[in-house]
Amino acid sequence: MTQPIRIAVAGAAGRMGRHLMQATLEHAELHLAAAVARPGHAAVGMDAGALAGVESCGVAIVDDLEAALSGTNIDVVIDFTLPEALAGNLAACREAGVPIVIGTTGLSAEQKAELERASTHLPIVFAANYSAGITLSLKLLDIAARALGDDFDVEVIEAHHRHKIDAPSGTALRMGEVLADALGRDLSDCAVFGREGRTGERDSKTIGFETIRGGDVVGEHTVMFLGQGERMEITHRASSRMTFARGAVRAAGWLVRQPAGLYDMEDVLGLR
């Protein structure tokens, strides 16, 4: 009988961490072997299953990923924490030789470069969004942008719950990167983040971003292609964080069979 893949969840006490633990516990081929929260968090010492809202699983929340990796035979780490925790978590995984699935958003250019460097030693999946629908949407955006070209203005609109701390969302920025690449532009040069006052006529080579924060919106993204006499929209709406959690645990199961390298959900879903 094949042994289940042993998962460690970093950021276990957060909203996504709890969903990740639930998705792992509900998956027949995965085993929750460790769950890590930040030092001093009230969840440390609690049963991971109880924290995730399912039955107790006998795994206590700990506060040290490096110790968890050295003391338990972990196959893969799933990390949905904060950007400032990334370097330490990457170092712990590299030291232990354990692949890592990363869903942390708001990374700087240097942090993304660190992922690239670490991927020469480790298998890493990094995605701004682990939804299968978003992954397919990125493909559709690439096709649409290449077909419509500079004749259409492009705007990205995203909405999330009031607790989200980064804006625009990592998914919206990834959409912008896909659009810019397809249109032969550099997003750092053409992105416009919100508008106010007398802005003047729209530059046709820009990509606009609008951010909405409020309530309990899980995640909504719409890209508008606005031409003369017609408009096309590609929209994705998520109604449950379990969508992202199930995608991440799917990525974890896929990653353990891969060589060192930096992958994303297109690789996981076989869309490349």
Helix (H) or strand (E) holding 91: helix 83-96
Task: Tell me the sheet residues that pair with 221.
Answer: 158, 236
- Determine the angle formed by the axes of helices 109-118 and 83-96, rounding to 10 degrees: 10
CB 72 within 8 A of CB 62: no
Q: Which of 19, 164, 221, 236 is catalytic?
A: 164
Q: SS3 helix, strand, coil % of the chain, rounded to 5? A: 40, 25, 40
Q: Does the active-site annotation cover 205?
A: no
Give one DSSP letter per residue of 184-245, joined into a string.
T--HHHHEEE---S---SPPTT-EEEEEEE-TT--EEEEEEEE-SS-EEEEEEEE--THHHH
CB 52 within 8 A of CB 25: yes
Per the structure block, which two tokens stand in for 158? Answer: 């995203």
Q: Which of 27, 160, 221, 236 is catalytic?
A: 160
- Positions annotated as catalytic residues are 160, 164
